[in-house]
Chain A
């Protein structure tokens, strides 16, 4: 059996899910026996190559995220939404209660720490925030979801290990379904 290729991506999230992924500790060796990690935020990877499994943390908050997730969908056989932000938009989505302008003004102009001298950054190189934050399944087909904020390391390892052994994981069956 040839080794599988896996990748992890960090979109609009806090990286907590990746921290939780690192918490699988020495079990990363079991993963490494079955797969090569070809891209993740702590590996230097420019473009996502074709992979068997990709874990995507965070929701789609900007034009760049949208481009990235559409590309990921083309490159990955199985797309796994990792964590509450990717699955439900979670805290990232709480700015949807406000207009985008109000959000920018609150952060860059009206925040107390700005001493009334702030301005909204508008450099053309910067990514552009979308009006509303959406979870992954609103823009691409998602093959599996791991809710949790963040999901337990045990849960992430369970899902990875099942996929790497060509089995479909079932979070409810193993009592690992959790939000928050």
Chain B
């Protein structure tokens, strides 16, 4: 495969052509914060956490959706990026109900870990307190909109891996919500196969199995990538 030279955080690297900045960083042990990225699913660049500075480009670009090109000079840990990552995690927490102490995912949550990584100790923005519903109509799983950060990993796992197309996104901005079918209760879905992939893809306590208690939640988001790899081998 053709190799190109790039510089990431003052480190010169020879990398394969055609990869995203995020893939290259991961392969070379350069940590980049992500929330909406999940290996095995297409990238959407929704969470804005993986923003990087590229010399000669006058705006920050998301590492997960930007293909690496020859002679790029990329910086991933500048003060500006750290500041933006902190703001992003604060805004996640300020939007809906992310009260960790009464969350099923407490201690096992990617959003919580993100807060620790960005060194967020308090939130400088006013909380929005939107009215969000908790859908318990499915016999095995719960969808709690209060904990959702709209990463859409469940939507992509459902359509791209399971092929069921149960999940989708409704409305915009503050009123944006994940919906099952045509905004009907999850338990009444005609498309959901109850496979549970969305449960594992969800990084927070927004989708979880009923058969667990607080602190016992175990999610295996890596199964999505494993499945995709195994399917490629079969082809």
A binding-site residues for B, Cβ under 8 Å: 81, 84, 87-91, 93-94, 96-97, 135, 137-138, 142, 145, 147, 149, 171-172, 177-180
Please determine whether A97 and B101 come into contact, CB atoms closer than 8 angstroms.
no
| Nearest opposing residue in chain A for B102, CB measure | A91
The 6 closest A-B pairs by CB, nearest first: A180-B100, A149-B101, A172-B119, A180-B106, A179-B100, A180-B101
Q: B-side interface residues toward A, CB under 8 Å?
A: 93, 97, 99-103, 106-107, 112, 115-116, 119, 121-124, 126-127, 129, 131
* Cβ–Cβ contact A177 & B101, under 8 A: no
B116 touches A94 (CB 8 A): no
The answer, among A89, A138, A179, for a CB contact under 8 Å with B112, is A179
Expressed in whole angstroms, the minimum distance between the Cβ of B136 and any Cβ of chain A is: 18
Q: Which residues of B contact A178 (CB under 8 A)?
A: 116
Minimum CB–CB distance for A42 against chain B, Å = 23
Chain A min CB distance to B106 (Å): 4
Q: Are A147 and B127 in contact (CB under 8 A)?
A: no
Known: A94-B97, A135-B122. 14 other contacts (CB 8 A): A84-B99, A87-B121, A93-B127, A94-B99, A96-B129, A97-B131, A137-B124, A145-B121, A149-B100, A149-B101, A172-B116, A172-B119, A177-B116, A180-B99
**CB < 8 Å: which of B97, B119, B124 contacts A177?**
B119
Binding site secondary structure of chain B? loop
- Residue of A with least CB distance to B215: A180
Min CB–CB distance B48 → chain A (angstroms)? 21
Tell which of A96, A137, A172, A177 touches B127, judged by Cβ atoms closer than 8 Å: A96
| Among A88, A96, A142, A147: residue with most chain B CB under 10 A | A88
| Minimum Cβ distance to chain A for residue B132 (Å) | 9
A88 and B122 form a contact (CB under 8 A)? yes
Number of A-B contacts (CB under 8 A): 58
Query: What is the chain A residue whose CB lies nearest that of B121?
Result: A145
**Is there contact, CB below 8 Å, between A177 and B103?**
no
Cβ-neighbour of A90 out of B101, B115, B119, B129 (below 8 A):
B101
A87 touches B122 (CB 8 A): yes
Contacts of B119 in A (CB 8 A): 172, 177
Chain A hits for B124, CB < 8 A: 137
**Residues in chain A near residue B101, CB distance under 8 A:** 84, 90-91, 149, 179-180
A13 CB to closest chain B CB, in angstroms? 11
Contact B103 A88 (CB under 8 A): no
Could you show 6 A-B contacts with beta carbons less than 8 Å apart?
A90-B101, A91-B102, A97-B131, A137-B124, A177-B119, A180-B106
Report whether A90 and B99 are in contact in the complex, using a CB–CB cutoff of 8 Å.
Answer: yes
Measured CB to CB, the closest approach of chain B to A142, in angstroms, equals: 8
A39, B162: Cα distance in complex, Å:
60
Instruction: Write out the residue numbers on chain A whose beta carbons fall within 8 Å of the beta carbon of B106.
Output: 180
A177 partner residues in chain B, CB cutoff 8 A: 115-116, 119, 121
Indicate if the CB atoms of B122 and A81 lie closer than 8 Å: yes
CA distance A97 to B127 in the complex (A): 11
Determine whether the beta carbon of B103 is less than 8 Å from that of A180: yes
Q: How far is the CA of A138 from the CA of B126 in the complex (A)?
A: 9
Assess the A180–B127 pair: CB atoms within 8 A.
Answer: no
Smallest CB–CB gap between B47 and chain A, Å? 19
CB-nearest residue of chain B to A96: B129
Which residues of the other chain, A, contact B97 by a CB distance below 8 angstroms? 94, 97
Name the residue among B103, B119, B127 with the largest chain A CB count within 10 angstroms.
B127
Specify which chain A residues have a CB less than 8 angstroms from the CB of B126 in the assembled complex.
138
What's the nearest-Cβ distance from chain B to residue A67, in Å? Answer: 22
| A180–B122 touching, CB < 8 Å | no
Cα distance A115–B31 in the bound complex, in angstroms: 58
In the assembly, what is the distance between CA of A93 and CA of B124, in Å?
A: 16
